Structure 1
Amino acid sequence: MSHSPQDPHPEPGRPTPEPQRDPVPGPPPRRPAGTIRLGSIAGADVLVTSSWFIVAALVSWIVSPRIEQVQPGIGAWKYVAGFAFAVILYLAILLHEASHALMARRFGARVTSITLHFLGGATAVEGEARTPKQEFWVAVVGPITSLAIGALGVGLWFLTPEGVLRVGVEGLAGANLLIGVLNLLPALPLDGGRVLKAGVWKLTGNPHRGSLVAGWCGRVLAVLMLAYPFLLGAVLDITPGVIDFVLAAVVAIFLLGGANAVVARARMMEKLPALVVRDLARRTCLVDSQMPLNLAVARAQAEQAGGIVTVDEQRRPVGIVSEAALLAVPEHRRAWMSVSEVARSVGPGAVLPVTLVGEDLVRAIGRSPLSEYLVVDATGAVHGVLSTADVDRAFRGTPA
């Protein structure tokens, strides 16, 4: 069970409860292929992957001998009862994920989907937690929900008469207690990993360091998971079967894949503070849009400018010269072309404030991918031109 940020950070000493805010509106996400929509919770689509039916069939097969034991002669109905148990189990997992979604929404985040899949469920939350407190509560509420359902199941077990119904109750109780405990293991991508991240973040003030620590713990847990079948024999004197080895491998691959993604993203995010628009923007030459291209290039070279912006009669910016388009024009033809022929009009998505830094810059570029952007100060005056090639070089740490 996990919740995944797509793709949220000052922490006061003891803040008062934050008021509920509506999630940021946005276009509805495209439903992934191979999923079925069941409805919505907290504004998020509830999806079931096709792999769930494989799990349901597997659960039916595993549970059927136990059902046959308590209800002899039930015949093929034991598989129907097993399937019903799989449905109830995943309803409990849905409650686990819904608790993540509701808590994230409580903190003002937008939840896009809740997906039930082969290994449980995942809640997709846009953005990152803004404080360690938010990270902690959005993560821990899932295992708490599972443990509460498990405890309720234990209580109901004593009140349920022997038979198929008691088998379902004991299975539901055991599964939820197991889900709750396992999800509290301090390793990403499990919920406990996010709790660990929140703790490291609180101590160090660095959310990315928290992700790195919890991600490495996830890698270690993935390796230990591979040893699970052998521990059955060494510790519990139980001979592991093929299913034990397959399950250990599947879970280890899931943990390792999630942990690797977390570590890679944390390392990437640590580089983002170096991306400062004010420093990366090129000095810009302002020219009339009808000026011959060769003269505009000559003026830019004289002013040691790395960008050319066309302006109208009121000296307002109207276009940004595309570096790629300029280089594609042979020098002998530049005298016969105006600057406007190699300039892109300045639309809303092409203008960036000079104050953008790090993650905010990456988000702004992601919303409107272009090769060049006009950078303006608080008064709207032109500060320079930002090239995405320069941003990429700064991120990779390579010289311009």
Structure 2
Amino acid sequence: MADPDPRPGGDKPAEEAAPTSRAPGTIKVGSIAGSDVLVTPSWFLIAALIAWWMGEPIDAVEPGLGWLKYVAGFVFAIVLYGAVLLHEAAHAIVAKRLGYPVGVIMLHFLGGATAVEKEAKRPRDEFWIAVVGPLVSLAVGAAAYGATFVTPGGLIGLLVMALCATNLFVGVLNLVPGLPLDGGRLLKAGVWAGTGNPNRGSIVAGWAGRVLAVIVLLWPFVLGQVLGGRPDLTDYVLAVIIGVFLWSGASAAIMSGKVRLRLPLLVARDLARRTLAVPADLPLAEAVRRAQEAEAGSIVTVTSGGEPIGLVHETALLATPEDRRPWMATSTVTRRLEEGLTLPADIDGEALIQAISKKPAPEYLLVEPDGSIFGVLVTSDVDAAFRAGA
């Protein structure tokens, strides 16, 4: 029922199954197209509620079932979530066909979510990944409607009609243009296609989602005061749960869009500190003196052949008393240049954020295409630049 959950991920081939980290308490019930299907404990609560809600209408068409009417209601809940699984599987299959890695498919209290682990590259990819879910729900609803003409009345007829109604409702609801619903992703794709900026699409669709959340929260009041209905406690509880879900998802989309709008401001070359290369065994005091003389904001240790081997950790340097620095080698306050600590000087934007997120460190060495040292990028400088652009 919910939209796919795109997240930045690695450059894995589409056919490779994405590694999954199962959330505590979830139950694996199978896999689809290489993606694990997980059920959260909250699913059992909604299944029990569905069984309870279905008890009265089942009793009306099949009196005398007693407690078995709740068993029938629980079976309907399983069938209904089977349709939700088809909705989510459609997201996953289309995403993989378009070359995007997919993590888990999660079934939960409010429906389901598909973890598409990479942002769409084109508006049309965003469109097709999003629209296929509601189309599947509408197709299931239409098929169930057709089945009502050939199924007997009574319990079977009731359950088939209920399956028709719920899937048509889910399909139409998910086409409403507001994040985090699938329709919000369609709106995002449209704005993206029109402006050339996916982040503006996220912000517009996020605000539409907030409007939808307010409408949902006000629905019981409208039902009672305007339409003359009689909302009960269940209506208010569901309005709050769904409204909060929509508001939080929409707000997250707005925040993500605003963050990504600022990413192009982050250019490693522009943020780099001038660096001084020194031998690893040079006394720390002398290295600091030379750096101050050269007006360098960072120090790199190198081999006798000039190959960089370590980055001076600024925090460790500042924590070293000045009276001890003449007797300490510069290498004692350096971090060895491991894989991921050397970045191209021209890296910027989202690629920069992904690189430092993949290998968190206080400093990174920036090198030119020919391998020569350009400077040092300090993570705190990246954070400050990002906040300044807010």
TM range (shorter): over 0.9
CA distance in 2, matches of 1:6, 1:305: 38
> Structure 2: which 5+ residue stretches go unaligned?
none
**1:326 counterpart residue number:** 317
**Over aligned residue pairs, what C-alpha RMSD do you find?**
1.5
TM-score (norm 2): 0.96
Residue in structure 1 matching 2:224, options 216, 226, 233: 233
CA distance in 2, matches of 1:97, 1:25: 16
Residue in structure 2 matching 1:196, options 187, 195, 213: 187
**1:35 counterpart residue number:** 26
**1:395 counterpart residue number:** 386
SS of the aligned residue for 1:385 comes to strand
Q: Report matched runs for 1:205-284 at 5 Å.
A: 205-234=196-225, 236-284=227-275
| 8 A contact 2:262–2:389 mirrored in 1 | no
CA distance in 1, matches of 2:122, 2:301: 43
TM-score (norm 1): 0.94
**2:288 counterpart residue number:** 297
AA in 1 matched with 2:31: S
Alpha-carbon deviations, 1:223-268, whole Å to 9, x = none? 1111212333356543111111111111101001111111111111
| Structure 1 residue 7: Cα displacement | 5.1
SS of the aligned residue for 2:194 comes to helix
| Structure 1 residue 195: Cα displacement | 0.2
Alpha-carbon deviations, 1:139-168, whole Å to 9, x = none? 111100100000001000111011111111
> Structure 1: which 5+ residue stretches go unaligned?
9-20
* Percent of paired sites with the same residue: 54
SS of the aligned residue for 2:301 comes to strand
Q: Which runs of 4+ in 1 moved over 2 A?
A: 21-26, 230-238
| 8 A contact 1:353–1:375 mirrored in 2 | yes
CA distance in 2, matches of 1:165, 1:190: 31
CA distance in 1, matches of 2:363, 2:218: 52
AA in 2 matched with 1:277: A
Residue in structure 2 matching 1:351, options 342, 359, 364: 342
Residue in structure 2 matching 1:128, options 119, 136, 146: 119
CA distance in 2, matches of 1:364, 1:385: 14
| Structure 1 residue 110: Cα displacement | 1.1
Residue in structure 2 matching 1:81, options 69, 72, 86: 72
AA in 1 matched with 2:7: Q
**1:22 counterpart residue number:** 14
Q: Report matched runs for 1:57-76 at 5 Å.
A: 57-76=48-67
SS of the aligned residue for 2:145 comes to helix
CA distance in 1, matches of 2:203, 2:97: 27
| 8 A contact 2:265–2:389 mirrored in 1 | no
Alpha-carbon deviations, 1:165-189, whole Å to 9, x = none? 1111101110000000000000000
SS of the aligned residue for 2:340 comes to helix
| 8 A contact 1:282–1:384 mirrored in 2 | yes
Aligned length: 386
